[in-house]
Structure 1
Amino acid sequence: MLLNRAQLLTSPAANTVFTTVLTRGPVNRPEIARITGLSSAAVTKAVKPMIEAGYLEEMPQQERTAEGAGRPAHPLSVRADREFFVGVKVTADELIGVVTDLRAEVRAAHRIPLSGRGVEQVVGGIAELVRQVAGEYAAHTHHIGVSVSGDVDRPGGVVRYSPFLGWRDVPLVRLVADVTGATVTVENDVKALTIAEQWFGEGVGADSFALATVGVGIGCALVVNGRLVPGGYGVAGEIGHIPVAAGDGPDCHCGGRGCVEAIASEEAIVARAREAAGDPALDMAGAIDRAHGGDAAVRAVFAEAGQAIGLGLAAMVNLVGPERVVVSGEGLAAYDLFEEQIRAAFTRQAFGAAARCPLVVRPLPWEEWARGAAAVSIQSLFAA
């Protein structure tokens, strides 16, 4: 049975080859075969339709070195301006959007406030953001990636549960496609950020790594054997819902008790800091100020949060064994208040040599999260 060009563009080999050229290019065919383990024939079969469709281009010839006898090589490169992609990160109070080219390089960025967290308000806001950020690239922008915190069914295009938005079973892909006319992809925000880190950040060249985020929630995504782990049910790496104080811990919005997120999320920290300080109006910035100012009771709240995060990270490392763990998220603003406890709990709880797994702190602005959403859209272009 002959495959048509659309099938060739969305084969597993095409996805592998495109990603290799994107992250390693310019790179020639023999090198692609060496990196991916694909046969030379499979590489050639995958490359041909992508060149014909304008996604890849051949660079000028490069003479082989003495070690590489044979014909001169034509390195392959991604044709960046073939088309453009919008990535949107949804937060609790604003939308962050970027336009990227096919290499996921950001060409434009914009933010708009959210008028509310209802489905209609967010979808309308996304449509307005896309209109504003696309600008001069609008005629060549037909793909939108959206990233949202929570349980996201990427293949089905549905946000099954997003705690901070208060959503359940929202068909976000269909709704955004209806108002924009674009091809839309939706993904969990931490997973989307992890794809960008795998392509361009701390995950480059790593066979396995984890990305954990601290902030409004406690998130985590995993790359194993060079691939993002989606999970059998679309949920994997959720260290925020590992119970670390199940007996007498606080209730979690997930229905569990003593979860990492119930102790270490921004909402949990603020609630407990208010109680400790006797100030019902205290916010996160105020709690950080009090802790830095030496308030022992509030510092203890951050310390307990750090311990919970460290235990959650250790459980994940014990189970999965990543080469490294990248720690990011808006909660890094308070990282100095619980870093010591995170590392101490992690070292104590990690089993054997797993305690040597490095924790790499990497602050990333919201635009990088939006870039991750665009990267998911690019990835989906070649996904089988």
Structure 2
Amino acid sequence: MTPRRQTPRVPVTSPAAATVFTTVLTEGPVSRVDVARRTGLSSAAVTKAARPLIEAGYLTELDSATTGVGRPASPLEVVADREFFVGVKITHDELIGVVTDLRARIRVSGHLPLTSRKVDAVVSNVGELVTELLKAPRYRERTSTVGVTVAGDVDPASGHVRYSPFLHWRDVPLAELVAEVTGLEATVGNDVKAITVAEQWFGAGVGAPSFALVTLGTGIGCGLVINGDVVTGSHGVAGEIGHIPVSGDGPLCHCGATGCVEAIASTDAIVAQARTATGEPGLTMAEVITGARLGDVALRRVFARAGVAIGRGLAAMANLTGPERIIVSGEGLDAYDLFADEIRETFATHAFGAAAECELILRPLPFEEWARGAAAIAVRTLFLS
């Protein structure tokens, strides 16, 4: 496919411009005086950084208002429709896609079943979904970037998927392949870290210099923000709470180790343990949850063990990084009531000192939010030169 005409990129040419734009994007409308106060930049630096952003149509000045001390102010606001972004989350059996505006507000969404997990087939399906999402001219003409996320080990700098356990991929140049099939600039990231970016800028992480996002479900994932920065680590795998060993005699994990949080508390792990405990090989997760809520002792033990594993993992992460809050999300929240006590009690026992005081926030995660996270990392490309 021939690349589409690229829309002009936002003129973020300096750290000051990135700081001003990010502040208005996440906290706007906000006056220049407040931007200066919140960022430590001088008023002159804020004005200089904002001018090209206004001229390019990414920021606008709202009608003059009056501050509490009687001085006129013209708050800066992001023009959300100036540019649109596509986000695609690849699961083991389907694609979830969205189109968002600059504030990562979902405008269009769609799902497409995968025809195969082979790389060429998945990339072709991504192209089909992106074409469908951008069929409206206003979206097609103002979109130049697509963000794609997968579970696993991803190198965001190169756009390579080094290892994705659920897709059984190794060393896949996904960004290059998606750019070729869509004609858009492509950025690729780990799915949980992408949602962390969305929460930092547009969700429960706004205003928190340090926080953690933990997702419970098919995998146990964690994204970290420390002193305002999303932590990826030298190899892009920082925050892998799912592979913290918490049980010396625990089950084998797909990573090759034993006793990992994910090997005990992921959806698949819970189902496997429940089948063994009951002798019923056909149990589904829904049936396991129902049975546990009805009081089945064996199933309650499975969830209790999972809660202890999650609590230990959260405590280890809190002891190491000291987050202000921990956001717990993911499809695993459907069963949260079955192991909430064990999670909180274990966390309180193993968290050291003031680390135990960090706030736990439960946040539902509809499937479209995964794709919104992918769009958020596409928005972030505005700040990368």
TM range, normalised to the smaller chain?
over 0.9
**Alpha-carbon separation, structure 2, partners of 1:10 and 1:279:** 61
**Alpha-carbon separation, structure 1, partners of 2:48 and 2:205:** 28
Matched, 1:102 2:105: no
Q: In 1, are the aligned partners of 2:153 and 2:190 still within 8 Å (CA)?
A: yes
Matched, 1:311 2:319: no
- What per-residue deviation string (whole Å, max 9, x for no partner) do you get for residues 42-70 of structure 1? 323322221222211222223444275xx
Q: In 1, are the aligned partners of 2:161 and 2:171 still within 8 Å (CA)?
A: yes
- What per-residue deviation string (whole Å, max 9, x for no partner) do you get for residues 246-290 of structure 1? x31222122222111111111211111111111122221222122
Change (3 A) 1:120 1:334: same
**Alpha-carbon separation, structure 2, partners of 1:61 and 1:125:** 48
Tell which deviates more after alignment, 346-355 or 36-45: 36-45
User: Cα distance, 1:328 vs. partner?
Assistant: 0.2
Matched, 1:226 2:228: yes
Aligned residue type for 2:164: S
Aligned residue type for 1:80: A
**Alpha-carbon separation, structure 2, partners of 1:295 and 1:103:** 46
- What per-residue deviation string (whole Å, max 9, x for no partner) do you get for residues 208-242 of structure 1? 11100000000001111122112122121111111
Match of 1:11 in 2: 14
User: Cα distance, 1:142 vs. partner?
Assistant: 1.6
Matched, 1:244 2:253: no
SS class of match (2:26): helix
- What per-residue deviation string (whole Å, max 9, x for no partner) do you get for residues 309-366 of structure 1? 0000000001111111000001111111111111111111111221121211111201
Q: In 1, are the aligned partners of 2:11 and 2:56 still within 8 Å (CA)?
A: no
User: Cα distance, 1:94 vs. partner?
Assistant: 1.5
Aligned residue type for 2:42: S
**Alpha-carbon separation, structure 1, partners of 2:207 and 2:169:** 36
Report how many aligned residue pairs link the two structures.
376
Match of 1:150 in 2: 152
Q: In 2, are the aligned partners of 1:86 and 1:143 still within 8 Å (CA)?
A: yes
Q: In 2, are the aligned partners of 1:145 and 1:377 still within 8 Å (CA)?
A: yes
Tell which deviates more after alignment, 282-291 or 262-271: 282-291
**What CA RMSD, in Å, does the superposition of the two structures yield over aligned residues?**
1.7
Match of 1:266 in 2: 267
**Alpha-carbon separation, structure 1, partners of 2:15 and 2:374:** 21
User: Cα distance, 1:11 vs. partner?
Assistant: 2.8
**Alpha-carbon separation, structure 1, partners of 2:15 and 2:278:** 55
**Alpha-carbon separation, structure 2, partners of 1:12 and 1:149:** 31
User: Cα distance, 1:180 vs. partner?
Assistant: 0.3
Q: In 2, are the aligned partners of 1:176 and 1:184 still within 8 Å (CA)?
A: yes
SS class of match (2:24): helix
Match of 2:161 in 1: 159
User: Cα distance, 1:144 vs. partner?
Assistant: 0.5
Q: In 2, are the aligned partners of 1:274 and 1:282 still within 8 Å (CA)?
A: yes
Matched, 1:290 2:291: yes
**Alpha-carbon separation, structure 2, partners of 1:20 and 1:7:** 15
Aligned residue type for 2:296: D
1:20 is aligned, of 7, 20, 23, to: 23
User: Cα distance, 1:143 vs. partner?
Assistant: 1.0
After superposition, where does 1:129-148 map in structure 2 within 5 Å?
129-136=129-136, 137-148=139-150
User: Cα distance, 1:164 vs. partner?
Assistant: 0.9
**Alpha-carbon separation, structure 2, partners of 1:42 and 1:148:** 39
Aligned residue type for 1:24: E
User: Cα distance, 1:294 vs. partner?
Assistant: 2.1
Change (3 A) 1:7 1:297: closer
Q: In 1, are the aligned partners of 2:87 and 2:97 still within 8 Å (CA)?
A: yes
Q: In 1, are the aligned partners of 2:193 and 2:222 still within 8 Å (CA)?
A: yes
Q: In 2, are the aligned partners of 1:160 and 1:170 still within 8 Å (CA)?
A: yes
Structure 2: stretches of 5+ with no match in the other structure: 1-7
**Alpha-carbon separation, structure 2, partners of 1:153 and 1:40:** 38
Change (3 A) 1:13 1:230: farther
Q: In 2, are the aligned partners of 1:8 and 1:46 still within 8 Å (CA)?
A: no
**Alpha-carbon separation, structure 2, partners of 1:326 and 1:212:** 6
SS class of match (2:194): helix
Give every structure 1 segment of 4 or more consecutive aligned residues whose post-TM-superposition deviation is greater than 6 Å: none
**Alpha-carbon separation, structure 1, partners of 2:281 and 2:57:** 59
User: Cα distance, 1:75 vs. partner?
Assistant: 1.6
Change (3 A) 1:66 1:165: same
Match of 2:3 in 1: none
Match of 1:351 in 2: 352
* TM-score with structure 2 setting the length: 0.93
Change (3 A) 1:107 1:6: closer
**Alpha-carbon separation, structure 1, partners of 2:263 and 2:249:** 12
**Alpha-carbon separation, structure 2, partners of 1:66 and 1:75:** 15
* TM-score with structure 1 setting the length: 0.94
SS class of match (1:9): coil
SS class of match (1:256): coil
Aligned residue type for 1:105: R
**Alpha-carbon separation, structure 2, partners of 1:313 and 1:276:** 26
- What per-residue deviation string (whole Å, max 9, x for no partner) do you get for residues 124-172 of structure 1? 1111111112221222222111111111111111111111111111111
Tell which deviates more after alignment, 335-344 or 41-50: 41-50
**Alpha-carbon separation, structure 2, partners of 1:364 and 1:6:** 31
Tell which deviates more after alignment, 91-100 or 11-20: 11-20
Q: In 2, are the aligned partners of 1:12 and 1:383 still within 8 Å (CA)?
A: no
**Alpha-carbon separation, structure 2, partners of 1:30 and 1:256:** 53
Q: In 1, are the aligned partners of 2:9 and 2:382 still within 8 Å (CA)?
A: no
